[in-house]
């Protein structure tokens, strides 16, 4: 008995002792700042730094929660920029993330009352939830006082953010029109060139080329079978909206000039695109795992040179294509890659592949935990400017490893960094350690107003010089469209959310079955079953909701 | 079972042979994922994305392990994990064992009441939010205590232990009671020694449970001070999950590039799994060979 | 005796019963952030919604099918394995096999899912063998067709946890009084006789206990494995109560709906376990209460 009790007591003691020790360690002290600067702050007049920012007497602290991520990484990556902004601006930004599902964490925050003064990365209905609970601060008055830049940068969109009663609670992040493509069709470049670069425009012609290409390369180096196309599940989210865009639909919906939205399964075009996929399946050229692959599994196949083409975001064929090959294959040549191409179905006026939401899809709120919301708005009023956006997107200037310089009120690129991006030799680990985009609150991603071309994304600034980016952008420039009106989310706690979930679940299952039909008749049959089931589950209600919001926005926003 | 001393019959020998062959096949099936993970963890990160690695690495590299061992937080995590396993297991096994003994005593009037009281907790819970709020109110968040206090008693372990103790002859306890020993004393000096097999089994369950749990760590101890080793693995795995939430194509591109390679994930799995897998062999000696009750009775 | 029990009762009240006030949100329209008691009462609305949901029947069917298979195979496999392990003669070999058998328990489901993809996928190991042996002429989509899902899941569950579940039986076998073996020897029992007449009766209470708890757990058909191994094509076969409650409850911010399903599940489980216990008490004279 004594032995066991002693053990228990020892254990309890050792952990209490340990708990005591743990409290002793303090976070690292900030390295001593620029001496000259703090000396000059004695002068009664406010000091203005080289960015035109009026230094506050007391450090403005902004802790913000930004969603799910790996906290160790985020803390490491934000450190350098955080330090720079503290020194030069006397503002301390701190990005907090947790490795817990964002939705769950937000609900726990709401329930426990334990949250920081700013929350970012919310979608509109999440932000609205905080407003409804009275936990978001009304910021319209502060913007009126000291938010001139916020108003001028957001321009006409500014009036779209206040809630029904005219009060402003949220500001957007990643707003603005970024004139670079998101989605496209892809084709293996060197094999295509070897075929004599035959021209194509419609999805059918594209598939025909993939088919010939597959016939020329029926097996990869390891002797595994190759396919024309594959996909990443859920395919109805990852691939179909782009495919539908080739048939003239916008983000999966047919939009009439009056603003009526029809889901693609209820359109002729939807049947056509299903027919297109079914043909590939029946030819045995659709990867049988198309509806099962997760990204890693798709990437394994794709990087093993087993897929001729792809339909989806532009970067996927980079990430899973030549970015793998250039590191694993010593003899890799730069034309061994995929190029991004536009497709347009016959008789369709315009192809809509990359929906852009200029209004911003995610939002930032200031919570009731903020003691001085006006100071936070002041910071936002700086960081939303073109120069503020550069600082947030590219990291601190004039440092040993910076990518840009800022001297005498003028900015310029660091030539080596620029060349590295153009030559595709840039080491992206460096982007992270510079803190690029880690401390963003309200910055836009569109082209900046002062020079009309630079953008928040550091690696997207030299697209005309970078050979393959230019090819992509030239190929796809007519497929980008403004989808600000059409990006609609259903509010939290609306029963339509359940309908939406049921439809999403069934759509993926039934569409997979339809595509994998053995004959065209069977396919048409299955498609009609799919349509009926979804409409019975309430698809028309969703269409109606979206149409109403769309029409409302047409009236109020433009 | 130990050899009986009698010469084994032919049928018995055939059975032995089949049994051994079966076990060897069985072991391969059980070990395969580790062989596979080991091969992946020893492969080059970019190359491994191409898949197709089964038994041997294709492009050998120790990068994942050197990267891991450079991280000194890994060692503080290991220390917290060990502490959690030791404190959590000792307290849980001792207290739950005591509870199991209490609900086994035949002439104790509250026996059935206690069993039902605990049985109910297996089927009803208040959900995430009330439990979280409780931990906050009790001041258990961001402390080490949240690892062992809420897991002190476990209804499932209680039933398993009680079922074992019920098989013990009453006479054992009676004689001790006649000697005037308190119940606590009987528990420590009579019940524990003869119940070693079940205590060892529950200790394995509990220690592995403590070692593997991660949700309570990232939920209640989110400040990172008490991160366990397992949370490092989870952080890497959850990184992949978080990707699905990203809508913006540009943001997705940079996130996917930044993600830890599957070789690193495999290496962490190896590092996190091996220490705890070694606990079992130590507990095993309590399972092998029977207990002689006669000796205790004597 | 009560003296020892009181701290334990206090513990269980604080950590298990106090949070149970959360159950009442099953009868409300709870929105996180609002004080719990100021939410609107809706009575049995969420229960009705669940019963009338288009997914209700296949969710129940899948839960019962997967649990049923789990009881048939997942419950018996560890008993058989424990008995076989016990018959191994080499001490070191025996210990080694035991240790190896419980290793899969440590592999997270994410990793299991990717290993399964490599083994059972259309181009996996299994199809490769079957094709080469000429049993099939087209790959079978083990992971992409609903009809295989229950089998795949049950096999995987057994594989992952058979060694783990064996531990408790091994400890029960180790608890068999060695005097009983001696008595068996005197009676001239053979190897098989020892297992049948001595070991099995001795570990019967453990078997019965786990069986009763298994009946009570029939509505817990798994969660993570479904989400990771299942996909859109097998959804009609994988969706079980827990995945459904997660998707339509927590994921949609509908905590009340999730709580209602959880409450319903708890009641049924408790009734089942009590009923199973009553039957066992009458038929086998073994009770867990």
Per-residue pLDDT of chain A (558 residues; tens, 9 = 90+): 344 444 444 444 343 333 333 333 333 333 333 333 444 444 456 788 989 899 999 999 999 999 998 888 899 999 999 999 999 999 999 999 998 889 889 988 988 889 999 999 999 989 998 998 899 999 999 999 999 999 999 988 998 999 888 899 999 999 998 888 999 999 999 999 999 999 999 999 999 999 999 999 999 988 889 999 999 989 999 999 999 999 999 999 999 999 999 999 999 999 999 999 999 999 999 999 999 898 988 999 999 999 999 999 999 999 999 999 988 888 999 899 999 999 999 999 999 999 999 999 899 999 999 999 999 999 999 999 999 999 999 999 999 899 999 998 899 999 999 999 998 888 888 889 999 999 999 999 999 999 888 999 999 999 889 999 999 999 999 999 999 999 998 988 788 998 999 999 899 999 999 999 999 999 999 999 999 999 999 999 999 999 999 999 999 886
Question: Taking residues B158-187, what's their average pLDDT?
Answer: 87
Question: Taking residues C109-125, what's their average pLDDT?
Answer: 87
Q: Encode pLDDT of C54-68 as tens digits.
A: 889 999 999 999 999
Which helix (H) or strand (E) segment holds residue A361: the answer is: none
Q: Is the dihedral of CA A199, A201, A206, A207 positive or negative?
A: negative
Contact: A509, C144; criterion CB under 8 Å: no
Q: What percentage of chain B reaches a pLDDT higher than 90? A: 41
Q: Which of A433, A448, A469 is a domain's end point?
A: A433
Tell me the ipTM for this assembly: 0.89
Mind telling me how many Å the CA of B150 is from chain C's nearest CA?
Answer: 6
Question: Taking residues C168-172, what's their average pLDDT?
Answer: 89
Classify residue A412: in a domain, yes or no. yes
Contact: A319, B133; criterion CB under 8 Å: no
Contact: A288, C253; criterion CB under 8 Å: no
* Three-state DSSP state, C188: coil
Separation between Cα atoms, residue A181 and residue B249, nearest integer Å: 9
Tell me whether C35 touches chain A (CB under 8 Å): no
Q: Which of A398, A413, A433 is a domain's end point?
A: A433
Q: Is the dihedral of CA A325, A328, A330, A331 positive or negative?
A: negative
Partner residue opposite C33 with nearest CB, options A103, A110, A233: A110
Q: Nearest 5°: phi and psi at A171?
A: -125, 150
* Three-state DSSP state, A68: strand
Q: Which of A414, A433, A452 is a domain's end point?
A: A433
Which residues are paired to B22 by β-bridges?
Answer: none
Partner residue opposite C177 with nearest CB, options B121, B266, B293: B293
Tell me whether B127 touches chain C (CB under 8 Å): yes
Under 8 Å CB-to-CB from A144, ≥6 apart: which residues? Answer: none
A150/A205 same-domain check: no
CB pairs under 8 A between A and B: 139
Classify residue A205: in a domain, yes or no. yes
Contact: B198, C178; criterion CB under 8 Å: no
Contact: A492, C141; criterion CB under 8 Å: no
Separation between Cα atoms, residue C256 and residue A107, nearest integer Å: 13
Question: Residue B106 has what pLDDT?
Answer: 83
Separation between Cα atoms, residue A23 and residue B142, nearest integer Å: 11
Q: Chain A, 368-427: which have a CB under 8 Å from a chain B CB? A: none
Separation between Cα atoms, residue A69 and residue C265, nearest integer Å: 33
Residue of C nearest to A115 (CA): C33
Question: Residue C34 has what pLDDT?
Answer: 78
Classify residue A147: in a domain, yes or no. yes
Q: Are A385 and A149 in contact (CB under 8 A)?
A: yes
Q: Chain C, 101-130: which have a CB under 8 Å from a chain B CB? A: 101-108, 110-112, 115, 118
A163/A292 same-domain check: no
Q: What percentage of chain C reaches a pLDDT higher than 90? A: 50
Classify residue A521: in a domain, yes or no. no
Q: Are C276 and C270 in contact (CB under 8 A)?
A: no
Question: Given pLDDT bands bounded at 50, 70 and 90, which one contains residue B292?
Answer: low
Neighbours of chain B (3+ CB pairs under 8 A): A, C
A76/A109 same-domain check: yes
B159 chain-C contacts, CB cut-off 8 A:
209, 213, 288
Separation between Cα atoms, residue A166 and residue A206, nearest integer Å: 50
Separation between Cα atoms, residue C249 and residue C22, nearest integer Å: 14
Tell me whether C172 touches chain A (CB under 8 Å): no
**pLDDT greater than 50 at residue B4:** no
Q: Is the dihedral of CA B266, B271, B277, B278 positive or negative?
A: positive
A166/A216 same-domain check: no
Neighbours of chain C (3+ CB pairs under 8 A): A, B
Question: Residue C54 has what pLDDT?
Answer: 85
A188/A304 same-domain check: yes
Q: Chain C, 81-100: which have a CB under 8 Å from a chain A CB? A: none
Contact: C253, A492; criterion CB under 8 Å: yes
Question: Taking residues C12-37, what's their average pLDDT?
Answer: 88
| Other beta carbons within 10 Å of A18 | 14
Classify residue A172: in a domain, yes or no. yes
* Three-state DSSP state, B141: coil
Classify residue A423: in a domain, yes or no. yes
Q: What is the CATH number of the domain that holds A419?
A: 3.40.190.10
**pLDDT greater than 60 at residue B5:** no
Tell me whether A107 touches chain B (CB under 8 Å): yes
Contact: A509, C236; criterion CB under 8 Å: yes
User: Which is it for strands A91-98 and A60-68: parallel, antiparallel or unpaired?
Assistant: parallel
| Mean of per-residue pLDDT scores for chain C | 90
Question: Residue A118 has what pLDDT?
Answer: 97
Q: Encode pLDDT of C149-169 as tens digits.
A: 999 999 999 999 999 999 999
Q: Are A289 and A231 in contact (CB under 8 A)?
A: no
Question: Given pLDDT bands bounded at 50, 70 and 90, which one contains residue C187?
Answer: confident
Q: Chain B, 221-240: which have a CB under 8 Å from a chain C CB? A: 233, 237, 240
Question: Residue A263 has what pLDDT?
Answer: 97
Separation between Cα atoms, residue A247 and residue A220, nearest integer Å: 32
A337/A363 same-domain check: no
Which range (A182-191, A327-336, B135-144, B237-246) has the least confidence? B237-246
| Other beta carbons within 10 Å of B280 | 22
Contact: C91, B23; criterion CB under 8 Å: no
Question: Residue A339 has what pLDDT?
Answer: 96
What is the domain range of residue A374?
59-178+359-433
Contact: C1, B125; criterion CB under 8 Å: no
A266/A392 same-domain check: no
Sheet order of strands, A338-341 included: A309-313, A183-188, A338-341
* Three-state DSSP state, C97: helix
Q: Nearest 5°: phi and psi at C40?
A: -75, 140
A300/A389 same-domain check: no
Question: Given pLDDT bands bounded at 50, 70 and 90, which one contains residue B293?
Answer: low
User: Which is it for strands A354-356 and A480-482: parallel, antiparallel or unpaired?
Assistant: parallel
A270/A368 same-domain check: no
Which helix (H) or strand (E) segment holds residue A285: the answer is: none
**pLDDT greater than 50 at residue C235:** yes
A162/A281 same-domain check: no
Classify residue A321: in a domain, yes or no. yes
Question: Taking residues C21-32, what's their average pLDDT?
Answer: 89
If one counts the domains in chain A, the total is 2
- Measure the N-to-C terminal CA separation of chain A; round to a whole number of Å: 81
A277/A416 same-domain check: no
A294/A173 same-domain check: no
B280 chain-C contacts, CB cut-off 8 A:
98-99, 102
What pTM did the predictor assign?
Answer: 0.87
Question: Residue B238 has what pLDDT?
Answer: 79
User: Which is it for strands A183-188 and A309-313: parallel, antiparallel or unpaired?
Assistant: antiparallel
Classify residue A419: in a domain, yes or no. yes
């Amino acid at each position: 008995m004594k032995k066991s009790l002693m053990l228990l007591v020892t254990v309890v003691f050792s952990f209490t002792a340990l708990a005591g020790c743990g409290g002793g360690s303090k976070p690292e002290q900030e390295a001593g700042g620029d001496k000259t600067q703090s000396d000059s702050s004695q002068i009664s007049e406010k000091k203005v730094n080289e960015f035109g920012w009026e230094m506050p007497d007391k450090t403005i602290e902004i802790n913000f929660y930004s969603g799910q991520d790996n906290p160790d990484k985020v803390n490491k990556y934000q450190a350098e920029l955080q330090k720079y902004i503290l020194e030069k601006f006397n503002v301390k930004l701190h990005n907090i993330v947790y490795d817990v599902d964002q939705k769950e964490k937000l609900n726990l925050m709401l329930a426990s009352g334990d949250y920081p003064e700013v929350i970012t990365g919310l979608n509109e209905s999440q932000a609205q939830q905080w407003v409804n609970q009275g936990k978001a601060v009304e910021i319209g008055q502060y913007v009126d006082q000291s938010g001139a830049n916020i108003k001028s940068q957001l321009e006409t969109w500014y009036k779209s953010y206040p809630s029904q009663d005219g009060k402003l609670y949220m500001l957007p992040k990643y707003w603005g029109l970024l004139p670079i493509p998101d989605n496209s069709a892809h084709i293996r470049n060197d094999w295509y060139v070897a075929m004599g670069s035959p021209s194509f425009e419609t999805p059918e012609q594209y598939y025909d080329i993939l088919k010939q290409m597959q016939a020329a390369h029926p097996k990869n180096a390891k002797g595994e079978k190759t396919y024309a196309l594959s996909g990443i599940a859920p395919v109805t989210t990852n691939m179909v909206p782009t495919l539908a865009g080739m048939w003239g639909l916008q983000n999966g919906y047919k939009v009439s000039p009056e603003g009526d939205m029809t889901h693609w399964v209820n359109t002729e075009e939807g049947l056509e695109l299903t027919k297109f996929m079914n043909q590939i399946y029946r030819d045995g050229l659709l990867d049988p795992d198309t509806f099962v692959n997760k990204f890693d599994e798709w990437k394994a196949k794709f990087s093993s040179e087993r897929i001729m083409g792809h339909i989806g975001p532009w970067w996927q064929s980079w990430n899973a294509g030549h970015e793998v090959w250039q590191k694993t294959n010593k003899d890799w040549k730069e034309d061994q890659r995929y190029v991004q191409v536009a497709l347009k179905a016959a008789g369709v006026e315009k192809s809509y592949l990359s929906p852009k939401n200029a209004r911003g899809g995610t939002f930032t709120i200031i919570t009731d935990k903020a003691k001085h919301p006006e100071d936070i708005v002041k910071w936002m009023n700086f960081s939303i400017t073109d120069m503020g956006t550069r600082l947030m997107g590219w990291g601190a200037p004039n440092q040993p490893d910076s990518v840009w310089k800022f001297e005498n009120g003028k900015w310029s690129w660091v030539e080596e960094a620029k060349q590295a991006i153009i030559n595709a030799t840039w080491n992206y680990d460096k982007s992270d350690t510079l803190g690029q985009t880690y401390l963003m609150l309200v910055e836009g991603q569109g082209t900046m107003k002062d020079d009309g071309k630079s953008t928040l994304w550091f690696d997207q600034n030299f697209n005309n010089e970078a050979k393959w980016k230019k090819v992509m952008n030239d190929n796809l420039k007519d497929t980008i469209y403004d989808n600000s009106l059409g990006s609609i989310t259903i509010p939290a706690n609306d029963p339509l959310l359940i309908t939406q979930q049921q439809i999403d679940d069934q759509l993926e299952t039934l569409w997979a079955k339809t595509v994998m039909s053995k004959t065209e008749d069977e396919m048409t049959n299955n498609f009609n079953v799919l349509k009926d089931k979804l409409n019975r589950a309430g698809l028309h209600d969703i269409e109606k909701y979206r149409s109403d919001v769309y029409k409302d926005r047409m009236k109020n926003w433009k | 079972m130990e050899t009986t001393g009698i010469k084994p019959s032919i049928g018995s020998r055939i059975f032995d042979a089949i049994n051994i062959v079966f076990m060897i096949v069985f072991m391969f099936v059980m070990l395969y994922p580790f062989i596979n993970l080991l091969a992946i963890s020893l492969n080059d990160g970019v190359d491994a994305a191409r898949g197709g690695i089964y038994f041997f690495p294709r492009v050998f590299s120790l990068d994942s392990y050197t990267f891991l061992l450079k991280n000194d937080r890994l060692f503080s995590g290991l220390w917290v994990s060990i502490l959690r396993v030791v404190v959590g297991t000792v307290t849980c096994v001792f207290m739950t064992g005591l509870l199991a003994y209490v609900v086994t005593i035949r002439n104790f009037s509250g026996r059935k009441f206690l069993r039902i009281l605990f049985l109910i907790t297996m089927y009803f819970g208040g959900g995430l939010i009330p439990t979280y709020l409780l931990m906050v109110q009790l001041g258990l968040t961001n402390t080490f205590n949240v690892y062992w206090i809420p897991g002190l008693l476990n209804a499932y372990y209680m039933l398993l232990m009680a079922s074992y103790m019920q098989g013990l002859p009453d006479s054992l306890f009676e004689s001790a009671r006649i000697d005037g020993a308190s119940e606590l004393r009987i528990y420590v000096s009579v019940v524990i020694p003869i119940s070693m097999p079940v205590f060892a089994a529950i200790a394995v369950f509990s220690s592995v449970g403590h070692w593997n749990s991660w949700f309570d760590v990232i939920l209640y101890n989110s400040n990172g001070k008490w991160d366990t080793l397992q949370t490092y693995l989870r952080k890497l795995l959850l990184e992949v999950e978080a990707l699905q939430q990203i809508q913006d194509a540009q943001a997705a591109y940079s996130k996917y590039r930044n993600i830890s390679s599957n070789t690193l994930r495999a290496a962490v799995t190896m590092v996190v799994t091996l220490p705890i897998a070694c606990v079992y062999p130590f507990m095993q000696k309590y399972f092998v060979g029977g207990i002689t009750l006669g000796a205790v009775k004597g | 005796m009560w003296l020892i029990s009181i701290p334990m009762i206090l513990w269980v009240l604080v950590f298990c019963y106090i949070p149970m006030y959360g159950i009442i949100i099953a009868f409300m329209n709870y929105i996180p952030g609002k004080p719990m008691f100021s939410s609107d009462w809706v009575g049995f609305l969420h229960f009705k919604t669940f019963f009338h949901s288009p997914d209700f029947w296949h969710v129940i069917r899948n839960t019962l099918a997967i649990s049923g298979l789990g009881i048939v195979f997942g419950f018996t496999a560890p008993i058989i394995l424990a008995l076989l392990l016990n018959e191994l003669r080499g001490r070191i070999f025996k210990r080694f096999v035991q240790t190896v058998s419980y290793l899969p328990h440590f592999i997270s489901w994410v990793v299991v899912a990717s290993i399964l993809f490599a083994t059972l996928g259309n181009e996996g190991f299994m199809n490769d063998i079957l094709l080469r042996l000429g049993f099939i002429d087209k790959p079978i989509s083990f992971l992409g067709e609903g009809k295989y899902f229950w089998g795949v899941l049950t096999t995987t569950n057994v594989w992952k946890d058979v060694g783990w579940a064996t531990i408790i039986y091994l400890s029960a076998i180790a608890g068999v009084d060695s005097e009983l073996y001696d008595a068996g020897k005197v009676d001239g029992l053979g190897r098989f006789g020892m297992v049948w007449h001595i070991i099995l009766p001795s570990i019967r209470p453990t078997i019965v206990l786990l069986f009763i708890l298994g009946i009570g757990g029939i509505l817990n058909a798994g969660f993570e494995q479904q989400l990771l191994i299942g996909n859109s094509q097998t959804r009609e076969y994988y969706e079980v109560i827990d995945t459904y409650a997660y998707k339509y409850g927590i994921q949609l911010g509908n905590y009340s709906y999730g709580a209602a399903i959880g409450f319903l599940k708890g009641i049924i489980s408790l009734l089942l376990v009590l009923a199973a216990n009553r039957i066992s008490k009458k038929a086998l004279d073994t009770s867990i209460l």
